[in-house]
């Protein structure tokens, strides 16, 4: 996992030193925590034995607020677990991978300022853009992904939000002890630009991800895209949609030359407490190289079996049907929720069928801040990877307490 004290932390200290004298005393201080226990079982036909990972993650931090809009967060994270899985750091290559390595890290350490129309933050922080298809924190894994970054946000009007971030380094979920050095963290020189306009139940956004990876030049790429989401009532139902298109090309120090398209079409229909959706996601490939999303929350896309964390060189067509909803009485502010999704995976280049997958989950609120989850994924291979089944049992407790 990331080293507790890093040579880049002085950037944060310089920012603290720049605080005006009247803002030195915190006007608010709170303790935040997120305790999560999980059992993950992976039966992959490529291995003789199954992985059985039992892990416990504690994330705790102090959030403080100064006068005049200054604020900050100092947060640590630790993961404990058994050794019956390949964490990417323990050398258990005889078992399927579950990328939840044991260890401790400084997860976030940032200082920010918030005003009436804008805000900014500098330091190690969590960054989320849109649905996290391109930029996210990989929150499903026990060790989340964070960035050493400068992030700015400005709202020139009540319906418009402009965002910019410069990324100096990404701390990946594999942790600082990963056997593969490139899986630990990457030095970056990445610019993220995003603009969104919201009117009623609809939102239009445009983005430019200018990603330069200083450790792995072939991962550098520029991506430009547009996204439109919305919903409208129809009699006793509600119709929703997501439309997105993007173009990705080689960028900066990348020695390769490529141009790939991305699109997403996802209509949805809600009747009472149940929402059904159909989707078609396209990640282009040419047989030598394919569109990649290395900074995304990848587990949330293309199936929970995680067979497509790296897009195959022939690209990926993910056509899926899903249904889900809420039921039961409200407890602690929420209700039980369920989800069922079917995926059909094919190549963009050529006629290969990769496989099919069923995903299902059930989550239940137990008390204030306490929840449980049962989750399952079943991937049936055709011409890509091997049959894989994954089962998760999880309980999570999170909350906050104001100290002063």
Q: Is pLDDT at 202 greater than 90 in this prediction? A: yes
CB atoms within 10 A of CB 235: 6
Q: Is pLDDT at 14 greater than 70 in this prediction? A: no
Beta bridge partners of 188: 213
Q: Which two tokens stand for residue 346?
A: 């094919």
Query: Once rounded to an integer, what is the mean pLDDT over residues 307-333?
Result: 96
Could you tell me which of 264, 251, 261 has the C-alpha nearest to residue 291?
261
pLDDT of residue 88: 97
Split at pLDDT 50, 70, 90, the class of 235 is confident
pLDDT of residue 5: 39
Q: Is pLDDT at 258 greater than 90 in this prediction? A: yes
What percentage of the chain carries pLDDT values higher than 90?
90
The SS3 of residue 293 is: coil
pLDDT digits (tens, 9 = 90+) for 103-153: 999 999 999 999 999 999 999 999 999 999 999 999 999 999 999 999 999
How do strand 259-271 and strand 237-250 relate by DSSP bridges? antiparallel
Could you tell me which of 211, 26, 12, 212 has the C-alpha nearest to residue 108?
12
pLDDT of residue 68: 87
The more confidently predicted of residues 292 and 10 is 292
pLDDT of residue 4: 40
pLDDT of residue 18: 46
Q: Is pLDDT at 23 greater than 70 in this prediction? A: no
pLDDT digits (tens, 9 = 90+) for 72-94: 999 999 999 999 999 999 999 99
Split at pLDDT 50, 70, 90, the class of 26 is low
Split at pLDDT 50, 70, 90, the class of 67 is confident
Q: Which two tokens stand for residue 36?
A: 């999560």
Which H or E element spans position 347? none
Q: Is pLDDT at 238 greater than 70 in this prediction? A: yes
pLDDT digits (tens, 9 = 90+) for 340-377: 999 999 999 999 999 999 999 999 999 999 999 999 99
User: Mean pLDDT of all residues in the chain?
Assistant: 94
The more confidently predicted of residues 41 and 5 is 41
- Please tell me the pTM assigned to this model: 0.93
What is the secondary structure of 62-119 as a DSSP string?
Answer: EEEE-GGGEEEEEEEEEEEE-SSSB-SSS--TTS-B-----EEEEEEEEEEEE-SSEE
Q: What sign results for the dihedral spanned by CA atoms 290, 291, 297, 301? A: negative
Q: Which two tokens stand for residue 29?
A: 């201080």
Q: Which two tokens stand for residue 22?
A: 């009247």
Q: Is pLDDT at 22 greater than 50 in this prediction? A: no
pLDDT digits (tens, 9 = 90+) for 160-179: 999 999 999 999 999 999 99
Q: Is pLDDT at 16 greater than 90 in this prediction? A: no
């Amino acid at each position: 996992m990331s080293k507790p004290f890093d040579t880049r932390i002085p950037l944060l200290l310089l920012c603290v030193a720049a605080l005006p004298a009247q803002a030195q005393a915190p006007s608010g201080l709170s303790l935040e925590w997120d305790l999560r226990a999980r059992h993950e079982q992976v039966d992959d036909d490529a291995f003789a034995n199954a992985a059985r990972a039992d892990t416990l993650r504690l994330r705790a931090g102090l959030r403080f607020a100064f006068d005049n809009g200054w604020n900050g967060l100092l947060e640590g994270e630790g993961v404990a677990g058994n050794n019956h899985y390949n964490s990417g750091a323990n050398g258990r290559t005889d078992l399927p991978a579950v990328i939840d390595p044991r260890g401790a890290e400084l997860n976030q350490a940032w200082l920010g300022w918030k005003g009436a129309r804008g805000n900014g933050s500098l330091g190690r922080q969590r960054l989320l853009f849109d649905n996290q298809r391109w930029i996210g924190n990989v929150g499903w894994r026990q060790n989340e992904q964070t960035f050493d970054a400068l992030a700015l946000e400005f709202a020139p009007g009540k319906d418009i939000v402009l965002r910019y971030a410069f990324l100096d380094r990404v701390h990946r979920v594999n942790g600082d002890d990963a056997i593969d050095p490139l899986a630990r963290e990457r030095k970056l020189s990445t610019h993220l630009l995003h603009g969104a306009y919201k009117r009623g139940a609809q939102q239009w956004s445009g983005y430019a991800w200018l990603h330069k990876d200083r450790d792995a030049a072939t991962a550098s790429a520029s991506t430009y895209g547009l996204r439109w989401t919305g919903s409208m009532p129809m009699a006793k139902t509600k119709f929703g949609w997501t439309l997105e298109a993007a173009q990705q090309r080689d960028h900066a120090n990348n020695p390769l030359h490529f141009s790939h398209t991305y699109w997403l079409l996802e209509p949805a229909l809600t009747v009472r407490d149940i929402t059904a959706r159909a989707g078609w996601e396209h990640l282009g490939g040419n047989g030598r190289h394919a569109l990649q999303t290395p900074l995304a929350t990848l587990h949330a896309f293309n199936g929970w079996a995680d067979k497509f964390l790296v897009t195959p060189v022939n690209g990926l067509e993910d056509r899926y049907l899903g249904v889900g909803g809420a039921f039961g009485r409200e407890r602690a502010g929420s209700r039980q929720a369920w989800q069922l999704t079917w995926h059909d995976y094919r190549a963009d280049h050529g006629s290969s069928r990769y496989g099919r997958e069923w995903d299902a989950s059930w989550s239940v609120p137990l008390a204030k801040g306490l929840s449980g989850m049962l989750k399952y994924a079943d991937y049936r291979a055709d011409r890509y990877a091997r049959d894989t089944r994954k089962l998760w049992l999880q309980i999570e407790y999170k909350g906050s307490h104001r100290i002063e």
